[in-house]
Amino acid sequence: MSLTLALLIGYFAFLLAGFVLGTRPLTHPWLFLLRGFFPKWQFFHSLGLTPRVYFRLQDNEDWSNWHKFMPRAKRQFSHLIFNPQVNLALSEQNLVELLASDLAACSSETEVPQLVSYKMIDRLVREKAQLVSPYSAYQFQICLERAGEPVNIEAQALLISPILLLETGAN
């Protein structure tokens, strides 16, 4: 038996053991990087609420309205061949869904800022906010919404970040 076949059999045996024995969320930052190698089948359960990121910016004392961080992209025929922007948006949305599942597994609110997925979402929002020059602070929230229905941001909030200052210059 070749080494490749043995590794492939071991991989599927590991997946089968995970299905049979159940899974626990990965909490160590280095183990977090391995989650991309193992499929996540939660999208087969049912259609329901989807976590989305909303953010707002502060200029002096005035706050902007809440804006959806990743609005749905318009479909185009050319996206069947070349689609880097929508693929990036899908990977960012996957990160938001990972944060939502990490929040569900989190035992206390003090652990939330230490989550790798929280730090990555914070960085994404900060980079987007830094593109708009006159603002000095930002805040984001994870909001659960159902596609095609109006969103009540305050009532459907899963997480609201503290007010975070924008850094001027390099990160």
Residue 170: inside a domain, yes or no?
A: no
Q: Tell me, yes or no, whether 27 and 50 share the same domain.
A: no
Q: Tell me, yes or no, whether 97 and 146 share the same domain.
A: yes
Residue 31: inside a domain, yes or no?
A: yes
Q: Tell me, yes or no, whether 57 and 16 share the same domain.
A: no
Q: Tell me, yes or no, whether 35 and 51 share the same domain.
A: no
| 13: exposed, middle or buried (Cβ count in 10 Å: 0-12, 13-18, 19+) | exposed
Phi, psi at 170, each rounded to 5°: -75, 155
Q: Tell me, yes or no, whether 8 and 66 share the same domain.
A: no
Cβ-contact 53, 128 below 8 angstroms: no
**Mean pLDDT in residue range 150-156:** 76
Q: Tell me, yes or no, whether 154 and 119 share the same domain.
A: yes
Cβ-contact 164, 122 below 8 angstroms: yes
Question: What domain count does the chain have?
Answer: 2
Contacts of 139 (CB under 8 A, 6+ apart): 55, 56, 58, 63, 160, 161, 162, 163, 164
- Using 50, 70 and 90 to split pLDDT, how confident is the model at 68? confident
Q: In the prediction, which pLDDT does 109 show? A: 79
Cβ-contact 151, 49 below 8 angstroms: no
Residue 18: inside a domain, yes or no?
A: yes
Q: What is the rounded CA–CA span in Å between residue 171 and residue 167? A: 7
Q: In the prediction, which pLDDT does 122 show? A: 92
- Using 50, 70 and 90 to split pLDDT, how confident is the model at 26? low
Encoded tokens for 148: 């095609």
pLDDT digits (tens, 9 = 90+) for 39-55: 555 555 556 788 888 88
Q: Tell me, yes or no, whether 24 and 99 share the same domain.
A: no
Q: In the prediction, which pLDDT does 9 show? A: 92
Q: Tell me, yes or no, whether 63 and 120 share the same domain.
A: yes
pLDDT digits (tens, 9 = 90+) for 80-130: 788 888 788 888 888 888 888 888 888 887 888 888 889 999 999 888 888
Q: Tell me, yes or no, whether 103 and 65 share the same domain.
A: yes
Q: Tell me, yes or no, whether 159 and 86 share the same domain.
A: yes
Residue 171: inside a domain, yes or no?
A: no
Residue span of the structural domain in which 66 resides: 46-165
Q: Tell me, yes or no, whether 55 and 124 share the same domain.
A: yes
> What's the pTM?
0.65
Cα–Cα separations (whole angstroms), residue 71 to 13, 51, 93: 39, 12, 10
Q: In the prediction, which pLDDT does 22 show? A: 67
Residue 136: inside a domain, yes or no?
A: yes
Q: Tell me, yes or no, whether 142 and 58 share the same domain.
A: yes
